[in-house]
Amino acid sequence: MTPGRASWSQALRRRWTNAKERLPLPHHLARPGPAVNAEIDSWTARVAPVERSKAQARATYDRLAPWYDWVEAPFERRARAAGLRLLGARPGERILEIGVGGGHTLAALARQVGPDGSLMGIDLSLRMAQVTRRRLAREDQGVQLALIQADACHLPLHDASVDAITMSFTLELMATEDIPVVLAQCRRVLRDPGRIIVVSLALGNTPSLITRLYIAAHRRWPRTIDCRPIPLHDVLVSSGFTVEGTWAGTIGGLPVTAISARR
């Protein structure tokens, strides 16, 4: 037998053995979005790691939920409004928000898409999703609303099922290796041509002193200062999006950006 044939049959045997070891998917579970081997790009070397687990993130936001409107939401208002302007939601649209937090963005969107539109919101934290549900119930715009506790790495939505996705102060909370996975999921569920609007702490090529101090604090207290700036433009482009509009601002001196991009 030639060496080539020996290695071919060995490879086949290995494949067969691995295939038999795979567990069947229980029939009552929905198959998660297609496996995505998103490439880890060069921007990843520039961002600080996220040292806390998803379970810790969920617990943090569950605890923060009753206070979120007082603690964080006011500082983020201007940037969120900029994201909404870039999104330019139209009546009747179907829009997903990832990381709904206290529901301020969804409440504004409910007024914009109106009763013919539909909104979906997901959040890792059940308590945050509940705060949003109460806010939207008070708004009562008659909009169709689905709120789900879920991880953005596994969006529980069909392919090409939404017109637009919005995310504010959420992508930069995620582990570096999760970011391309989440953006690949966004591309999967967006219609063609769909749009995505992301608002986040911004990391430029030459970070300012305040940004470097903030990142040092994030590294020192990773569970308290859980988000870190990311080079959002490069992040979106490396996931295949075409950037269309940007807004730049600051929160307490820290650069913030909002970017709209096409699928």
The residues of the shown chain that bind ligand SAM, judged by CB under 6 A, are 57, 61, 73, 76, 80, 98-99, 101-102, 104-105, 122-125, 128, 151-152, 168-170, 173-174
Burial (CB count within 10 angstroms: exposed 0-12, middle 13-18, buried 19+), residue 7: exposed
Torsion sign, CA atoms 183, 184, 188, 193: positive
Asked if residue 193 has a cis previous peptide bond (ω within 30° of 0), the answer is yes
| Shortest reach from residue 112's CB to ligand SAM, in Å | 16
**Cβ-based nearer residue to ligand SAM, 168 or 239:** 168
| Shortest reach from residue 5's CB to ligand SAM, in Å | 47
Count of beta carbons in the 10 Å neighbourhood of residue 71: 10
**Cβ-based nearer residue to ligand SAM, 5 or 57:** 57
| Shortest reach from residue 1's CB to ligand SAM, in Å | 50
| Shortest reach from residue 67's CB to ligand SAM, in Å | 12
| Shortest reach from residue 18's CB to ligand SAM, in Å | 29
The 8-class DSSP code of residue 169 comes to S
**Cβ-based nearer residue to ligand SAM, 99 or 194:** 99
42, 43, 40: which is closest to 203 by C-alpha? 43
Residue 162 to residue 104: CA distance in whole angstroms: 20
**Cβ-based nearer residue to ligand SAM, 147 or 261:** 147
149, 84, 74, 76: which is closest to 110 by C-alpha? 84
Q: Which two tokens stand for residue 35?
A: 């496996």
| Shortest reach from residue 142's CB to ligand SAM, in Å | 23
| Shortest reach from residue 123's CB to ligand SAM, in Å | 5
**Cβ-based nearer residue to ligand SAM, 15 or 77:** 77
Residue 261 to residue 263: CA distance in whole angstroms: 7
The 8-class DSSP code of residue 246 comes to E
What string of DSSP letters covers 138-161? HH----EEEEEE--GGG--S-TT-
User: φ, ψ for residue 124 (rounded to 5)?
Assistant: -65, -30
**Cβ-based nearer residue to ligand SAM, 92 or 109:** 109
**Cβ-based nearer residue to ligand SAM, 149 or 246:** 149
* SS3 (DSSP) at 219: helix
Count of beta carbons in the 10 Å neighbourhood of residue 80: 19
Residue nearest to ligand SAM (CB): 101
